[in-house]
């Protein structure tokens, strides 16, 4: 018997629609993207039932973990101004190169006297380097307190609205460190701040 | 499908030599590949779950003036945050009433806050004041949990206060320090 020949169909698929969709999604992700900043110490944020997201900009974040405190503030212009003011205060002059590096640094935690050598490192070295955290105590004149104050001043001068201070702490962090940070904030009459949490999973415990 | 008719007219007018039109169909496979690669990259590098902020108001700490009104002990509840995720609470002055040890969460602290809040509201006609006193052995998570329960139970006034020596003694006695 003669076989019925099935006519072969073309294997060519029209990719136009798929391409459209792909680029649509790509555009969406590019526009909503906010690069993930790597935490200098592992931070496991505790959960809570709050559902107010932190604002996108105009925030100062203090990352607390392993007893160290790290400092980050949004906006490269604020970072640069803060560094300049801190330089004046501590009699350190920063080169334009160092200022530029600092302005692009999302988060840092080194004492003032090590800051210049920290800024001189290249990206990979900086990633490897174990940052000691910003020195802090409960007196009025300590580096962390000065950083926060200068950042608030810089923000007020540049954006004319108050800085939103947030604390991002590790779940396991013992209270004394948090207490020091809170004391520093209240001493500056910054009585309202926020603790960063994630949304708690529905089934817990 | 979006395809153009590219076949040359069928050679009706025999004389003219026509240049054969090239196909306008472009192979988009490579482009799609690239697009999806980039999508994957952006999906992995963005933070989709945005962190949430738990607002904490602190009492104004003016070291010079001390003009704050005392709160009646009958309607103040003190939470002592101890070690091992335990919280001790008592109403009023430390030492006068027996503190209760509890865990955080729905059946522990939340229930207590709701019950006591209601009781105090009924007996005194005023809202309950909660004082959170974290000890040095408590963790950041404990503080967040306590504040969260307070937010859930809608306690109107609360404050984070430093722990005192007799209260530390209570925690130590009950093995929560």
| Domain layout of chain B by residue ranges | 73-173
- Our separate counts of H helices and E strands in chain B read 4, 6
A31-41 residue pLDDT tens:
877 666 667 77
- At residue A169, the 3 state secondary structure works out as strand
Write down the pLDDT at residue A36.
65
Q: Side-chain half-sphere of B169: how many Cα atoms within 13 Å? A: 6
Collect all residues of chain B within an 8 Å Cβ-Cβ radius of residue A22: 32, 35-36, 39
- Yes or no: say if A102 and A83 are a contact pair by the CB < 8 Å rule: yes
Which of A70-84, A191-205, B47-61 has the largest mean confidence? A70-84
High-pLDDT (> 90) share of chain A, %:
1
Looking at CA atoms only, how far is residue B162 from chain A in angstroms? 9
* ipTM score for this prediction: 0.70
Write down the pLDDT at residue B52.
77
Q: If you average pLDDT over residues B14-24, what whole number do you get? A: 72
- DSSP assignment letter at B74: G
Write down the pLDDT at residue B48.
61
Beta A164-169 vs A68-73: how paired, if at all? unpaired
pLDDT interval class at A24 (50, 70, 90): very high
Least confident of A152-156, A197-201, B89-93: A197-201
CB contact under 8 A, A197 and B144: yes
- Yes or no: say if A67 and A170 are a contact pair by the CB < 8 Å rule: no
Least confident of A86-100, A151-165, A186-200, B57-71: B57-71
Looking at CA atoms only, how far is residue A59 from chain B in angstroms? 11
End-to-end CA distance of chain B: 74
Write down the pLDDT at residue B49.
63
Least confident of A6-15, A165-174, B47-56, B85-94: B47-56
Interface of A with B in 34-93 (CB under 8 A): 34-36, 45-46, 48-54, 64
pLDDT interval class at B156 (50, 70, 90): confident
Write down the pLDDT at residue B74.
74
Write down the pLDDT at residue B9.
47
Q: If you average pLDDT over residues A68-81, what whole number do you get? A: 85
Write down the pLDDT at residue A154.
87
Q: Where are the alpha helices (DSSP H) in chain B?
A: 29-45, 111-124, 140-152, 165-173
Element (H, E) at A126: helix A123-128
CB contact under 8 A, B53 and A26: no
Residue A75 zone, left/alpha/beta (φ > 0; ψ -120 to 50; rest): left
CB contact under 8 A, A185 and B151: no
- At residue B43, the 3 state secondary structure works out as helix
Least confident of A55-64, A171-180, B45-54: B45-54
Element (H, E) at A73: strand A68-73
- Yes or no: say if A65 and A170 are a contact pair by the CB < 8 Å rule: yes
Closest-CA residue to B151 (of B175, B130, B176, B125): B130
pLDDT interval class at A204 (50, 70, 90): very low
Tracing tokens 């779940």 back to the chain, one arrives at A171
Of A14, A29, A49, the CB nearest to B39: A29
The span from the CA of A23 to the CA of B52, in Å, is 30
The span from the CA of B86 to the CA of B177, in Å, is 9
- At residue B86, the 3 state secondary structure works out as strand
User: Taking the model in full, what pTM does it have?
Assistant: 0.70
Q: If you average pLDDT over residues A107-123, what whole number do you get? A: 84
Write down the pLDDT at residue A203.
42
CB contact under 8 A, B57 and A35: no
The span from the CA of B76 to the CA of B126, in Å, is 11
DSSP-assigned beta bridge partners for residue A62: A71, A167
Q: If you average pLDDT over residues A24-31, what whole number do you get? A: 87
B63, B59, A67, A109: CA torsion to nearest 10: -80
- At residue B66, the 3 state secondary structure works out as coil
Looking at CA atoms only, how far is residue A65 from chain B in angstroms? 10
Task: Pull the structure tokens for residue B132.
Answer: 């959170």
Burial B32-44 (b: 16+ CB within 10 A, else e): beebbebbeebee
**pLDDT higher than 60, residue A201:** no
Write down the pLDDT at residue A205.
40
Interface of A with B in 153-182 (CB under 8 A): 166, 168-176, 178-179, 182
Average pLDDT of the residues of chain A: 81
CA B114 to mean position of chain CA atoms: 20
CB contact under 8 A, B53 and A196: yes
Write down the pLDDT at residue B62.
56
Task: Pull the structure tokens for residue A195.
Answer: 């603790």
Beta A192-199 vs B52-57: how paired, if at all? antiparallel
**pLDDT higher than 70, residue B14:** no
CB contact under 8 A, A48 and B147: yes
- Yes or no: say if B92 and B165 are a contact pair by the CB < 8 Å rule: no
Question: Chain A residue closest to B146 (CA)?
Answer: A48
Element (H, E) at A171: none
- Architecture of the domain delimited by B73-173: 2-Layer Sandwich (3.30)
pLDDT interval class at B129 (50, 70, 90): confident
Looking at CA atoms only, how far is residue A39 from chain B in angstroms? 13
What number of residues does chain B have? 177
Looking at CA atoms only, how far is residue B23 from chain A in angstroms? 14
């Amino acid at each position: 018997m003669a076989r019925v020949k099935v006519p072969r169909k073309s294997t060519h698929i029209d990719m136009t629609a798929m391409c459209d969709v792909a680029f649509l999604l790509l555009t969406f992700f590019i526009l909503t993207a906010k690069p993930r900043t790597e935490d200098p110490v592992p931070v496991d944020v505790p959960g809570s039932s709050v559902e107010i997201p932190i604002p996108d900009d105009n925030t100062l974040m203090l990352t607390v973990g392993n007893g160290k405190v790290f400092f980050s503030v949004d906006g490269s212009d604020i970072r640069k101004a803060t560094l300049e003011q801190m330089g004046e205060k501590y009699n350190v002059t920063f080169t334009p190169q160092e200022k530029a590096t600092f302005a692009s640094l999302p988060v840092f935690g080194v004492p003032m006297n090590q800051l210049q050598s920290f800024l001189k490192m290249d990206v990979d070295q900086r990633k490897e380097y174990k940052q000691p955290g910003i020195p802090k105590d409960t007196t009025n004149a300590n580096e962390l307190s000065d950083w926060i104050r200068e950042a608030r001043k810089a923000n007020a001068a540049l954006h004319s609205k108050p800085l939103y201070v947030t604390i991002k702490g590790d779940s396991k962090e013992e209270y004394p460190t948090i207490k020091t940070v809170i004391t520093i904030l209240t001493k500056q009459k910054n009585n309202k701040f926020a603790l960063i949490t994630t949304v708690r999973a529905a089934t817990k415990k | 499908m979006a395809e153009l008719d590219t076949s040359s007219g069928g050679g009706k007018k025999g004389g003219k030599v026509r240049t054969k039109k090239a196909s306008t169909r472009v192979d988009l496979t490579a482009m799609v590949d690239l697009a999806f690669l980039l999508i994957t990259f952006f999906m992995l590098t963005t933070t989709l779950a945005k962190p949430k902020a738990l607002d904490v108001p602190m009492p104004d700490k003016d070291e010079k003036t001390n003009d704050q009104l005392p709160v009646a002990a009958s309607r103040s509840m003190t939470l002592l945050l101890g070690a091992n995720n335990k919280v001790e609470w008592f109403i009023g002055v430390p030492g006068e009433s027996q503190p209760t040890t509890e865990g955080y969460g729905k059946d522990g602290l939340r229930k207590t806050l709701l019950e006591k809040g209601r009781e105090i509201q009924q007996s005194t006609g005023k809202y309950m004041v909660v004082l959170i006193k974290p000890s040095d052995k408590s963790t950041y998570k404990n503080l967040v949990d306590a504040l969260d329960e307070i937010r859930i139970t809608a306690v109107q006034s609360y404050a984070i206060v430093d722990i005192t020596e007799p209260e530390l003694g209570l925690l130590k006695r009950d093995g929560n320090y």
